[in-house]
Amino acid sequence: MDLNTDFPERLPEWGTLEVVGPRGARQARVQRVYGITGGRAIVLLEGVQDREQAEALRGSVLRIRRDEVPPPPDGSYYEFQIIGLRVVSADGRDLGRVREIIRTGAHDVYETDRIMIPAVDTFVREIDLERGEIVVDEIDGLLE
């Protein structure tokens, strides 16, 4: 399975997960995770006994409830916390809402309908989840 988590080793700790796939949704427990490499892993789910049952889950997504998501490390955010935040300049200009996070390898880039902001301290002054906004500093060329 493709991993959309920074903490694949936590999968077995999360208890019951929702498996959402082409044949609907169901609950399942993770028994074992191994072969974590390059953003992929092999996940053994309780109740999946053979290859045919596993093949039926191809393309499925494993999800946990948001209220069960462990807090990220200090100064870090989950993608779902950032997507949709309003981006404003330090002087209050509205720069749109984050609609996508582009992973470049060096650092993430927050994309709005108007601008692309490197997610680094040089540009991002503050992320305030309670206000639902990201404040960015005025950098020559960034906001033109």
| Residue with the two structure tokens 């993770």 | 30
Query: In this predicted structure, what is the pLDDT of residue 20?
Result: 86
**Which part of the chain has CATH 2.30.30.240?**
79-136
Coil, strand or helix at 127: strand
Q: What is the pLDDT of residues 105-116, one digit of tens each?
A: 889 999 999 899
For the stretch 12-56, pLDDT in tens is 777 788 888 887 888 888 888 887 777 677 888 888 999 998 888
Domain boundaries 79-136, corresponding CATH code: 2.30.30.240
Q: What is the pLDDT of residue 58?
A: 84
Q: Is residue 3 predicted with pLDDT exceeding 70? A: no
pLDDT score of 6: 67
Q: What confidence score (pLDDT) does residue 73 get? A: 84
Give the pLDDT band of residue 2 (cuts 50, 70, 90).
low
d(CA 9, CA 92): 41
* Whole-number pLDDT of residue 25: 86
Burial class (CB in 10 A: 0-12, 13-18, 19+), 62: buried
Q: Does domain 8-68 have CATH number 2.40.30.60?
A: yes
Helix/strand/coil percent split, the chain, to 5: 15, 40, 45
Contact (Cβ atoms closer than 8 angstroms) between residue 32 and residue 41? no
Residue 98 sits at the vertex; the CA angle it makes with 24 and 37, to the nearest 5 degrees, is 55
pLDDT 10s digits, 50-103: 999 888 888 888 888 777 787 888 888 988 999 999 999 999 999 999 999 998
Positions of CATH 2.40.30.60 in the chain: 8-68
pLDDT band at 136 (very low <50, low <70, confident <90, very high): very high
Say whether 123 sits in a helix, a strand or coil.
Answer: coil
